[in-house]
Structure 1
C-alpha cells in the first residue's frame, strides 16, 4: 500500500512566486475509518465482539478528555501520549499572568517510538492528475 499525494501550489503572501519553490506534495484521497469499522477490525483479530469493542472505545473517548481536563497526560503504552497545550498572550510581569492570558487549548498527540518506527517505511505515490 502507498500513501497518495497531490501537488499543490503555495506561494507565501510575503514572497513572489519567482523567489520561492511554490510546489509541494500534500496527502490526498484519505479514506476515513470510523469507530464501528475500527471495532469490527479489532473484533476480527481478537475474541471480543464488535459490540464489546465499541463499548471500550466509547469509554476511551469519554475518559481521555476527562483526564486531560484534570491535568493528566494520558500515556497509552506503545501508541503514544495525549496532552494539552495552551495558546496564551504574554504579560509584562509574572504577577500579571492569570487565567485570562489563556486564549485557547489544543490537544496534542505524541506517538511512541514504536509507532514512529512503524511509520518510517511509508511508501508514497503521486496521485494521477485528472484533466
Structure 2
C-alpha cells in the first residue's frame, strides 16, 4: 500500500504576494472507506455476523458520543485517542466569562502508535 500525493506550489504565509514560492507534497485521497466496507472486512476476519458487527459499531459510536459530551477522553488503545475541544471569545476577567462566549465545540483525534507506525511504513506514490 502507498499514500498517494501530488505536488503543489505554496507561497510564504503572511507575506504579501506569497513571497518565495516552493513546492510541497499534498495527500490525494483515493476514495472513501464506508461503514459497509469496514463491516465486510471485519466479517472476513471474525466469527461475528454482519448484524453483530453493525450493532457493535453503532453502540461504540453512542458510547463515544456520550463520553465526549461528558468531557471525557476516550482511549481506544491501539486505534488512538479522541478528546473534546472548544474555542471561545475572550472576557476581561474569569468572573465576566460566560458560556455564551464559547464559539465552537469539536473533537480531536490522536492516532495510536500502531496506526502511526503503519503510516510511517507506507510507501508513497505520485498521483
* Alignment deviations for residues 94-120 of structure 1 (CA, whole Å, 9 cap, x no partner): 111221221001111111223222321
Alignment partner, residue 51 of structure 1: 51
Structure 1 stretches (4+) deviating beyond 6 angstroms?
Answer: none
Distance 2:91 2:82 in 1: 28
Alignment partner, residue 75 of structure 1: 75
Alignment partner, residue 15 of structure 1: 16
Distance 1:58 1:6 in 2: 35
Aligned residues: 126
TM-score, normalised by the number of residues in structure 1: 0.85
**Secondary structure of the corresponding residue to residue 91 of structure 2:** coil
Alignment partner, residue 121 of structure 2: 121
* Alignment deviations for residues 39-65 of structure 1 (CA, whole Å, 9 cap, x no partner): 110110011112211111111122211
CA RMSD of aligned residues (A): 1.7
Kindly state the Cα deviation for residue 13 of structure 1 after the two structures are TM-superposed: 6.4
Alignment partner, residue 110 of structure 2: 110
TM-score, normalised by the number of residues in structure 2: 0.88
Q: Unpaired runs of 5+ in structure 2?
A: none
Distance 2:88 2:117 in 1: 33
**Secondary structure of the corresponding residue to residue 90 of structure 1:** coil
Distance 1:15 1:26 in 2: 23
